[in-house]
Amino acid sequence: MPQITAHTSDSPAVSIERVSEPWKDAWGAFRKNKMAMLGLFMIVAFIVIALVAPLIAPYDYKAQELTDRLKPPSVEHWFGTDDLGRDILSRVLHGARISLWVGTFSVIGSIILGTFFGLLAGFYGKWMDMLISRIFDILLAFPSILLAIAIVAILGPSLQNALYAIAIVNIPTYGRLVRAKVLSLKNEEYITAAQAIGMKNRGILWHHILPNSLTPIIVQGTLGIATAIIEAAALGFLGMGAQPPAPEWGKMLSDSRQFIATAPWTVVFPGVSIMLTVLAFNLMGDGLRDALDPRMKS
């Protein structure tokens, strides 16, 4: 590692190691984790597939050919066809767009709202903390998928409403995480110093507490995308998410469940796609946790 030499009157030379940036150290630790890098590679691959799906899909995902219904995988249809003669490969490729879109933006919404309420609850405390914490407790009292189903039932079945429902049910996860982090930070000496020089609470929250709360948010957000993809697939399977003819993976599983015995390829490929996507985000999330958590470093 490069060194800087400082000369003093007491000693001829003092070696001072250059301190690496924390994020650079975290990236170095992340790169050493082979499983985490595998997860990152898989995520990048799915993103690329989602972006270029219209260009690489061999058929229109909506095109129906009833004469080709339930054909097994072949040179013409690599993943076979479904009960309406639609090419499953084309639908799986386009389905990556939907799953990544719902998973990513629902988590972003949860993080924004959860972080906002968590900052307020942890920093101001008293009645605000009690009110926000009780709301979180009420939301957490319901199983997440059941609460999501109830929200979609009120708003109406659609992919957009499923995104809203998934975002709402996951707000307490990030809110409680941020609240706990704020409670541990707000009594630190640098926060007290900022208050002593007259910095406003908004400035303290934005410039000091929020940046130091990003690590657990990033880790939980990465893992949360995997959970959101599963929840979106579950809502789609129940008919409360994406509506036909959208090629959402959960909806594809639902439409093909009666053909499991006679045409298993109709459920295998959408199911494997969900599994691989969730696995990729879990591997990457575990790697980020190991790289960003100081307790995991030797």
pTM for the structure as a whole? 0.83
pLDDT value of position 16: 38
For residue 195, give the amino acid letter: Q
Q: Which tens digits make up the pLDDT trace of 266-288?
A: 999 999 999 999 999 999 988 88
Q: Grade residue 46 by pLDDT with cuts at 50, 70 and 90.
A: very high
Whether 205 has a pLDDT exceeding 70, the answer reads yes
pLDDT value of position 15: 39
Residues whose CB is less than 8 angstroms from the CB of residue 68 and which lie 6 or more positions away in sequence, other chains included: 77, 81, 85
State residue 14 phi and psi, 5-degree precision. -125, 125
Q: Which tens digits make up the pLDDT trace of 99-108?
A: 999 999 999 9
Q: Which tens digits make up the pLDDT trace of 76-114?
A: 999 999 989 999 999 999 999 999 999 999 999 999 999
Assign a CATH topology to domain 22-296.
MetI-like fold (1.10.3720)
pLDDT value of position 80: 92
pLDDT value of position 296: 53
Q: Give residue limits of the domains in the chain.
A: 22-296
Looking at residue 211, what DSSP letter applies? G
Q: Grade residue 297 by pLDDT with cuts at 50, 70 and 90.
A: low
Q: Which tens digits make up the pLDDT trace of 250-266?
A: 999 998 989 999 999 99
**Quick one: average pLDDT of 32-47?**
93
Q: Which tokens hold the place of 110? A: 């949860």
CA 99/CA 95 separation, integer angstroms:
6
Question: How far does Cα 54 stand from its chain's mean position?
Answer: 24
Helix (H, G, I), strand (E, B) or coil at 95: helix
Q: Which tens digits make up the pLDDT trace of 144-201?
A: 899 999 999 999 999 999 999 999 999 999 999 999 988 888 877 777 787 788 778 7
Residues whose CB is less than 8 angstroms from the CB of residue 247 and which lie 6 or more positions away in sequence, other chains included: 61, 90, 91, 92, 94, 95, 98
**Quick one: average pLDDT of 218-240?**
91
Whether 22 has a pLDDT exceeding 70, the answer reads no
Whether 226 has a pLDDT exceeding 50, the answer reads yes
User: Buried b / exposed e across 20-51, counting CB within 10 Å, b at 16+?
Assistant: eeeeeebeebbeebeebeebbebbeebeebbe
